[in-house]
Structure 1
Amino acid sequence: MSETSETEDNEQPLNLDIPEHLEYSDEHVWVDRSDEDLAILGITEYAADQLGELVFVDLPEPGSRVEAGDEIVELESSKAVQPMISPVAGTVKYVNRDVSDDPSVINGDPYGEGWILKVELDDDEPELLSADEYAKIIRWTDADS
């Protein structure tokens, strides 16, 4: 599914990828729960586009405990410093050191090589959005810009 929205800088349409198989938070974090016990997290293409070229990613240590709503990763670009808010609770099992070494990987492939961390989930059911629900949030957010 692709979403088209206007950017305020150049007013050109921007095609955003919102993969159907992922779930999303309203803080622009995607979650892949295809493995029942381990969730893969990253930021959406929309978030990466809004931040611009990333220059620094501060990752948590494997073994760290996270709660839904925690600021778990700090993302720094030439435009802003933005925390990544965890939409899930659990224990960080793996971090993507490649994005720490070269944060631009997130900008180039946010849903693939640009994954940020893997969390072993608690039994709690996270409150996540479908691709369609997330697309509506982007439209609403861009309309306010």
Structure 2
Amino acid sequence: MPFACVRCGECCSQMGDVHVVREECADGSFLMENRYTGEVHAVRVAPDRASLLADRSIFERWPLACPFLREDPADGKACCTIHHTRPDICREYRCWRLLVLNAGGTRAGRVMERRHLAADDPALAAFWETHIAVIREDDDTRWDERAIETLTKAGYIVRR
């Protein structure tokens, strides 16, 4: 199953430490700087999202959110106001390699980066430590297959 964004906003919830507005230009354009790399990227707020910039309530929940992350009033989901001009780091980001759901279909955790588990469910975290973290396999594809098989046998649903 290909990656599908659910617009939860978690990916951008801490990016305010990375992406900062260096300069506000005309017509909804900004120069955004990556504080880690020093790279400067020109971005433009989508015209249909410009009115969202005034609402800064998302920073009450996530004080370190990307300066361009907002909540869409139409559906309450997170939205990137500069989505079409976002930097490459944002374009390439995937919040999970493997998505682990419990038997009821609710997210139990995500495997991120190489083999890091971000668990939403303490039972999955405990299972991970005793059954998955002990898998010794250098090849990532074979490791994924073994992890998926082990999780599936335990009643979890795993999506790639």
Band of TM-score, shorter chain: under 0.3
Structure index of larger Rg: 2
More helix by share: 2
Greater RCO (Cα-Cα under 8 Å, separation 6 or more): 1
Normalising by structure 2, we get a TM-score of 0.23
Structure (1/2) with the larger strand percentage: 1
